[in-house]
A and B are shown apart, each in its own frame.
Chain A
Amino acid sequence: MSTPVVTVHETVVGDGTTTRSRSARRWRRARLPLALLALLLTAGILTALPEPQTSTLTLAPDNPADLGGRAAAQILGRQGVDVRYVRTIADVEELAGPGSTLLVVGDYLLGDEQIDVLDETEADLVLVDAEWAVGLLTPSLTSSGGFTDTPEVRSAQCEDPDAVAAGTITASGGLLSTGPGAVVCFPAPGASTDQGGAYGVAESDGRRVVAVADLAPFTNQYLADEGNAALVLRTLGRHERLVWYIPSLDDVGAGGGSGPAPGQVLPPVVQVVALQLLLVVVVIAVWRGRRLGRLVTERLPVVVRAGETTRGRGRLYRRGRSYGHAAAALRAGTAARSAARLGLPRSAPAPLVIDAISRAAGRRPTDVETLLYGPPPTDDRGLAQLARDLDHLESEVHRT
């Protein structure tokens, strides 16, 4: 090409927008997503606000269901008792000391370590539904070994002031007194306290150990029945502080085990540095995230290979096991090319072609006839053999 014709286009200044129109457009574009985001946030806050978290754990102080203990915990809280709900023995160790009450609910998840800690604490113990632990924590009380069944109305029948104040409770289960100073109350109806009661109290190592065989009096469901409330509130409200301990499965034990959390080991500067690094990452994201103009697109041409139809046809032959068709095609191709090479017209009859090819290749006419017009092969191997033989024949024709 000689000097190309250069088109000079009109000069462009700006895109006809002003700061005001751009901000108006941005606002128009952003307001719907912003409104949706605000709506989501409001809805989230509203659902999160009304109540502190509740659980479904049996006798937990934040469980409002029938089996929960929120009623008792809230009444105690209003009466000025500092209720601390804990799940790990480490917290128990930290919070429970002299002048506090330690409520232990259930003993299925207590291990030797936890029992040791409970044994050594100087707080008053209230063991609920913990027959096995009772025997370990005080020598004066033991479980009768019976299963707890449906709660029944029982009367105190003993001298303990708390029990007397309660009068009757709804409970089941049996605790036996095995040592001096231990008092057992609330035997089954028609039985005496010697045969076991739902409530036992003993002094050991200078602290008070109260055992209640059944957790029914403590539950939201039964707290208002009979004298349950009196017994529960008197038992748990003896001190300023109540540590409400429900053992958990993932409690690794007191002190030992995995050591302190990572956050406590690292120096405090690490967290601040991490925050600064976050700032750096955000700036990098803004730096790399802004594209220099939009992506340019264009239509792409059709991409279908010319050989596709031929291959498709080959697949059809193979799937249909059409050895006859395939062999016929191969033979016709060889015959046509050989005939053309020998100067025969396309319309030449078969005997003429056989004769010419056999003479050119130096083969017997019957061999050539079998090869070109014989029966079709019946399997893959036969077809491959035929193809090779035809190639061979064609190359011989080529030589002459």
Chain B
Amino acid sequence: MAVTWRAVVLAALGLPVVLVVPAVGTVLLWTLLVVVVCAVDVALAASPRQVAIRREVPASVRLTEPATSTLTLTNRGGRLLRALVRDAWPPSTGAQSDRHRVLVRPGDGARVRTVLVPTRRGDALADLVTIRTFGPLRLAGRQASLTVPGRLRVLPEFASRRHLPSRLARLRELDGRASVQVRGPGTEFDSLREYVIGDDVRAIDWRATARRSDVVVRTWRPERDRRVLIVLDSGRTSAVRVLDAPRLDASIEAALLLAALATKAGDRVELVVYDRRVRGRVASTTGARVMASFADTLALVEPELVETDWPGVVAQVRQRLSQRALVVLLTALDPSAVEQGLLGVVGQLTERHQVVLASVSDPEVDALRTARDGATAVFDAAAAERVGLERAAVAVRLRQRGAEVLDSLPDDLAPALADTYIALKAAGRL
């Protein structure tokens, strides 16, 4: 049961009548009239339970990109369906307007589209579909809320993909395809080709030149088929909010950029999301499926309010990797947490693998450090200074144990990690 503004107007139309015949009885009669007319309208309204609803929704959408949830309504009753339909979704899916008016003849169908612009990563489950049908007078109607299942997986935004072209260009510079050839210890022999003007004369292969009439140069390419294992820490330190997003989101961006880059470079990328147990993993996929499975896995990762089990991480890495590989730890450079956890076991990782620790730093601490207005600000600045020193100290201790340490602002972490990867590749340290 629901009434519309028309019922209000009908009730208000009683006012002139009451002015003409000012008696309590008039009011009662008019009330009865309103009730009866509304009841008749309700009785003549189409049943909202005789509407067949079919939902079509994209399986997944990237964060901040629009998706459309389409409901196909078929009128299976014998009456004209005048209805207001609400396709309810959780607030973070950013439904623009989820109310739709439809007019469907018996046996006919109609389609309503709700545009969703999600603002949060993860699985969004559709809520109830509410149909309010009105009678011929549109005074009142019937309403039903129906469960129509629907799920939209919101993938990470991957905003850092804008850094991908420039990094791929750098990668090609390492590769033999570019005109500029860089030969370094991290390269392996690719092929022989004719000399063109501009080539480094040191690259001329004299033995091959002697066999042929042309001058031949060697080309080089970076090592391929190296393994990269990204360990994403989803423990309590990842829940902390830096600027407007949890630290975890910046780590996810970095992981996605690195995965895209390393896949293009011909390396095999794996992912483990871990705090006290494995929350997600991507393993042994190649080619185009890598990015899809990365996005799919990372979409569902949420920070857990538990302390990360670093010996467990080491055990995971051991189990996954038999040969030397690049192990990227996406975690927080939190002095106390690192001292109690990672610092004790990082040596076991660095003795077999190249370890890079990437952490999101907080611009707010930098702002605090330089604030000077008032005694409180100076004390805060001293605290920020101390925090900075402790971070630097713990980073030094990690470097002493053979790990590369990155400490960048949220937006800079992904490109910084990509640059580190390229540098390590160029140096042949993978």
A→B interface (CB under 8 Å): 1, 4-15, 17, 268-269, 272-273, 275-277, 279-280, 282-284, 286-287, 290, 292-294, 296-298, 301-307, 309-311, 313-318, 325-327, 329-330, 332-333, 336, 346, 380, 383-384, 387-388, 391
Chain A residues, CB < 8 A from B132: 292
> Is B14 an interface position by the 8 A CB rule?
yes
* B389 lies within 8 A of chain A by Cβ: yes
Residues of A within 8 A of B267 (CB): none
B:270-323 near A, CB below 8 Å:
302-303, 305
Q: Residue A15 contacts which of B18, B146, B239, B372 (CB distance < 8 angstroms)?
A: B146
Q: Does B429 contact A (CB under 8 A)?
A: no
User: Interface segment, B83-91, B207-215, B221-229, B338-346?
Assistant: B83-91
B58 pairs with A7, CB closer than 8 A: yes
* Contact indicator B8/A287 (Cβ below 8 Å): yes
| 7 A-B pairs whose Cβ atoms sit less than 8 Å apart in the complex | A12-B149, A290-B2, A292-B99, A297-B90, A298-B91, A310-B384, A311-B368
Chain B, 381-404, CB within 8 A of any chain A CB: 381-389, 392, 396
B132 to chain A, nearest CB (A): 6
B378 at the interface (CB under 8 A from A): yes
Partner of B364, one of A301, A306, A313, A332: A306
Which chain A residue shows the least CB distance to B367? A307
| Complex Cα spacing A346 to B56, Å | 61
| B interface residue numbers (CB < 8 A to A) | 1-5, 7-8, 10-12, 14-15, 18-19, 22-24, 26-27, 30-31, 34, 49-62, 65, 67, 76, 84, 86, 88-92, 99, 120, 127-130, 132, 143-151, 239-242, 246-247, 302-303, 305, 362, 364-365, 368-369, 372, 374-376, 378-389, 392, 396
Q: Are B247 and A306 in contact (CB under 8 A)?
A: yes
A310 with B365, Cβ < 8 A, contacts A272-B27, A318-B379, A346-B396 known: yes
Provide the residues of chain A in CB contact with B130, threshold 8 Å.
292-293
Name the B residues within 8 Å of A294 (CB-CB).
88, 127-128, 145
Q: Which residues of A contact B92 (CB under 8 A)?
A: 298
Least Cβ–Cβ distance between B12 and chain A, in angstroms:
5
A259, chain B: closest CB distance, angstroms: 24
User: How far is B240's CA from A279's CA once the two chains are assembled, in angstroms?
Assistant: 54
Ranked 4 nearest A-B pairs via Cβ: A293-B130, A14-B49, A314-B380, A326-B382
Would you call A336 and B392 a contact (CB within 8 A)?
yes
Complex CA gap A376/B206 in Å reads: 71
Contacts of B151 in A (CB 8 A): 7
What's the minimum C-beta distance from A284 to chain B, rounded to whole angstroms?
5
Could you list 15 further interchain pairs (A-B, Cβ under 8 angstroms) beyond the known A15-B144, A284-B8, A329-B389?
A: A5-B59, A7-B151, A13-B50, A14-B50, A14-B51, A272-B24, A287-B5, A298-B90, A301-B239, A309-B387, A310-B364, A314-B368, A336-B389, A346-B396, A387-B381
A26–chain B nearest beta-carbon distance, Å: 11
**Most B CB within 10 A of own CB, among A306, A313, A336:** A306
A302:B7 contact, CB within 8 angstroms: no
CB pair A276–B368 under 8 Å, yes or no, is no
Contact partners of A13 in chain B: CB under 8 A: 49-53, 76
User: Is A318's CB under 8 angstroms from B375's CB?
Assistant: yes
B8 to chain A, nearest CB (A): 5
Q: Is the CB of A313 within 8 A of B383?
A: yes
The residue from B22, B24, B372, B385 contacting A333, defined by CB atoms under 8 A apart: B385
Contact residues in A for B90 (Cβ distance below 8 Å) = 296-298
Tell me the bound Cα distance from A383 to B396 in angstroms: 29
Of the candidates B10, B369, B382, the one having the most CB atoms from chain A within 10 angstroms of its own CB is B382
Q: Which residues of B contact A346 (CB under 8 A)?
A: 392, 396
CB distance from B251 to the nearest CB of A (A): 13
Distance A5 CA – B378 CA, assembled complex (angstroms): 55
Given known pairs A13-B53, A336-B392, the reply for A314 and B383 (CB within 8 Å) is yes
Distance between B131 CB and nearest chain A CB, rounded to angstroms: 9
Other-chain residue from A17, A269, A326, A336 in contact with B379 (beta carbon distance below 8 A): A326
Residue among A276, A302, A380 with max Cβ neighbours from chain B (10 Å): A276
A279:B31 contact, CB within 8 angstroms: yes
Q: Which residues from chain A contact B379 at a C-beta distance below 8 Å?
A: 314-315, 317-318, 326, 383
**Is there contact, CB below 8 Å, between B241 and A302?**
yes
Which residues in A have their C-beta under 8 angstroms from that of B382? Answer: 314, 317, 325-327, 329-330, 383, 387
Residues of A within 8 A of B386 (CB): 313, 325, 329, 332-333
A150 to B10, CA, bound (A): 71
Q: Give chain B residues whose Cβ lies under 8 Å from the Cβ of A306.
A: 240-242, 247, 362, 364-365
Are B385 and A329 neighbours in the complex by a CB distance under 8 Å? yes
Q: Which B residues touch A332, using CB under 8 A? A: 385-386, 389
B381 adjacent to A318 (CB under 8 Å): no
Bound together, the chains give a CA A336 to CA B76 distance in angstroms of 77
Min CB gap A355→B, angstroms:
22
A1–B62 contact, CB under 8 A?
A: yes
Q: A301 CA to B388 CA in the complex, in Å?
A: 27
Are A380 and B375 neighbours in the complex by a CB distance under 8 Å? yes
What residue in chain A is nearest B25 (Cβ atoms)?
A: A272
**Chain A neighbourhood of B145, CB < 8 A:** 15, 293-294
* Whole-angstrom CA separation of A327 from B379 in the bound complex: 9
With most chain B CB atoms within 10 A of its CB, the pick from A9, A273, A380 is A9
Interface contact A304-B240, CB-CB below 8 Å: yes
CA distance A276 to B10 in the complex (A): 11
Of the listed residues B144, B146, B386, the one surrounded by the most CB atoms of chain A closer than 10 A to its CB is B386
Return the contact of A4 from the options B8, B19, B61, B149 (Cβ within 8 A): B61
Give Cα A296–Cα B89 distance, bound, in whole angstroms.
Answer: 7
Residues of A within 8 A of B303 (CB): 301-302
Q: In the complex, how many angstroms separate the beta carbon of B122 from the nearest chain A beta carbon?
A: 10
Chain B residues, CB < 8 A from A272 = 18, 22-24, 26-27
User: Which of A14, A280, A336, A391 contacts B146 (CB under 8 A)?
Assistant: A14
Contact in complex: A286, B50 (CB < 8 Å): no
Residues of B within 8 A of A305 (CB): 240-242, 364
B234 to chain A, nearest CB (A): 12
B368 to A9, Cβ gap below 8 A? no
Chain A contacts of B146 at CB under 8 A? 12, 14-15
Closest to A387 in B: B378
**Given the interface contacts A13-B52, A269-B19, does A290 sit within 8 Å of B14 by beta carbon?**
no
CB pair B60 A5 closer than 8 Å:
yes
Q: Which of B4, B302, B372 contacts A388 (CB 8 A)?
A: B372
